[in-house]
């Protein structure tokens, strides 16, 4: 009960806004490992921290042991999905979750987010139609039973990534996510949700809401109330520029802060939304060299890149 709120990408460290939060999490859990032994819960938390810090194969072994001890642990299935994503094993991830989710009720806490992983894996193997059906059935506002933080962030990020993969824009779906963002998070305060609200506002063409969010975030940063700092309004503005089709403005705003996007919170898989947006902006601006350089910085990561222009 004491340790749990500190762990995970939505925990006290994960949402701290600090640049080194992933390493900080791993140091914390490394130091406690001898006290927990083969405890399945600790193995799940430790494996997730290892994966997010880039130690994928160590994380794979850790989560395998945890799931052997408690195979129906949804958080463990979630960590395994992240390990498979980081390895670029989309087909294996899809097969695993398709089987694991058969007996997992739609009303359970992680159903929305695990369904998001199914949708992302589907994009990775090129099954855009299936990914969109999965979205409609368990991620979209009104279909998701998950907490608001998952419903908003998973819905907005999936629709944006689907468009990057070549799916046409669905104005009705974006309007529904925009409306949900305004209801669930009417004021800025949770940085990860603020960024995804910006995605929804930008894609829905709600310029007024996007500008107001950007203004409020910059004001909060000036007043010292924004733990993640100026990277947050910069990313918000970059999504707005991209939605307008201004690729150079997207690059100008996003590229200088790209190395700080860890501060907004969320997992590597979730933050790929930022990387894929910058990658698409480079490609659409005709800057293939910059796109290749961005991909080369993945440092051993192998997630697929479902950006239509990347081929």
CA 265 to each of CA 21, 62, 269: distance values in angstroms, whole numbers, following the listed order: 9, 23, 11
Count Cα atoms within 13 angstroms, Cβ side, for 23: 3
Mean pLDDT, rounded, for 27-53: 97
User: What are the domain boundaries of the chain?
Assistant: 107-305
pLDDT digits (tens, 9 = 90+) for 208-252: 999 999 999 999 999 999 999 999 999 999 999 999 999 999 999
pLDDT digits (tens, 9 = 90+) for 51-68: 999 999 999 999 999 999
pLDDT given for residue 128 in this prediction = 96
Answer yes or no: is pLDDT of 298 > 90.
no
Answer yes or no: is pLDDT of 158 > 50.
yes
Q: Place 307 in a pLDDT band, splitting at 50, 70 and 90.
A: low
pLDDT given for residue 88 in this prediction = 96
Instruction: Return the percentage of the chain with pLDDT > 70, whole number.
Output: 98
With a CB cutoff of 8 Å and minimum separation 6, the contacts of 242 are 202, 250, 277, 280, 281
Mean pLDDT, all residues of the chain:
96
Answer yes or no: is pLDDT of 93 > 50.
yes
Answer yes or no: is pLDDT of 82 > 90.
yes
Mean pLDDT, rounded, for 161-168: 96
Cα 301 from Cα 86, distance rounded (Å): 6
Please name which of 133, 115, 277, 108 lies closest in space to residue 195, comparing C-alpha atoms. 277
pLDDT given for residue 305 in this prediction = 84
Mean pLDDT, rounded, for 71-83: 98
pTM of the predicted structure, to 2 decimals: 0.96
pLDDT given for residue 300 in this prediction = 78
pLDDT given for residue 310 in this prediction = 45
With a CB cutoff of 8 Å and minimum separation 6, the contacts of 230 are 218, 221, 257
pLDDT given for residue 156 in this prediction = 98
- Tell me the three-class secondary structure of the chain, residue by residue: CCCHHHCCCCCCCCCCCCCCHHHHHHHHHHHHHHHHCCCHHHHHHHHHHHHHCCCHHHHHHHHHHHHHHCCCCHHHHHHHHHHHHHCCCHHHHHHHHHHHHHHCCCCCCCHHHHHHHHHHHHHHCCCHHHHHHHHHHHCCCCCCCCCHHHHHHHHHHHHHHHHHCCCCCCHHHHHHHHHHHHHHCCCCCCHHHHHHHHHHHHHHCCHHHHHHHHHHHHHHHHCCCCCCCCHHHHHHHHHHHHHCCCHHHHHHHHHHHHHHHHHHCCCHHHHHHHHHHHHHHHHHCCCHHHHHHHHHCCCCCCCCCCCHHHC
Please name which of 127, 179, 126, 135 lies closest in space to residue 155, comparing C-alpha atoms. 135
pLDDT given for residue 219 in this prediction = 98
Answer yes or no: is pLDDT of 181 > 60.
yes
CA 33 to chain centre: 27
């Amino acid at each position: 009960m004491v340790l749990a709120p500190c762990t995970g990408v939505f925990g006290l460290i994960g949402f701290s806004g600090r640049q080194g939060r992933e390493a900080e999490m791993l140091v914390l859990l490394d130091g406690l490992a001898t006290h927990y032994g083969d405890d399945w819960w600790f193995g799940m938390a430790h494996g997730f921290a290892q994966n997010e810090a880039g130690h994928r194969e160590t994380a794979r072994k850790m989560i395998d042991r945890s799931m052997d001890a408690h195979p129906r642990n949804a958080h463990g299935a979630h960590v395994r999905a992240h390990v498979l994503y980081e390895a670029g094993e989309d087909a294996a991830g899809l097969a695993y979750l398709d089987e694991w989710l058969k007996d997992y009720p739609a009303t359970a806490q992680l159903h929305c987010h695990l369904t998001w992983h199914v949708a992302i894996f589907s994009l990775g193997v090129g099954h855009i139609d299936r990914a969109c059906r999965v979205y409609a059935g368990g991620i979209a506002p009104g279909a998701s039973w998950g907490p608001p933080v998952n419903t908003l962030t998973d819905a907005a990020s999936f629709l944006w990534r689907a468009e990057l993969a070549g799916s046409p824009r669905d104005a009705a779906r974006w309007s529904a996510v925009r409306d949900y963002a305004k209801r669930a998070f009417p004021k800025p305060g949770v940085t990860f949700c603020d960024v995804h609200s910006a995605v929804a506002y930008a894609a829905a063409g709600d310029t007024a809401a996007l500008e107001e969010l950007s203004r409020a975030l910059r004001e909060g940063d000036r007043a010292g109330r924004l733990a993640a700092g100026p990277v947050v309004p910069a990313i918000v503005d970059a999504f707005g520029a991209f939605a307008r089709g201004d690729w150079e403005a997207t690059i100008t705003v996003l590229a200088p802060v790209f190395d700080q996007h860890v501060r907004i919170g969320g997992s590597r898989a979730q933050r790929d939304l930022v990387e894929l947006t910058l990658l698409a902006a480079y490609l659409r601006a005709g800057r293939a060299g910059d796109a290749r350089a961005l991909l080369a910085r993945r440092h051993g990561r192998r997630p697929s890149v479902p950006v239509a222009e990347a081929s």
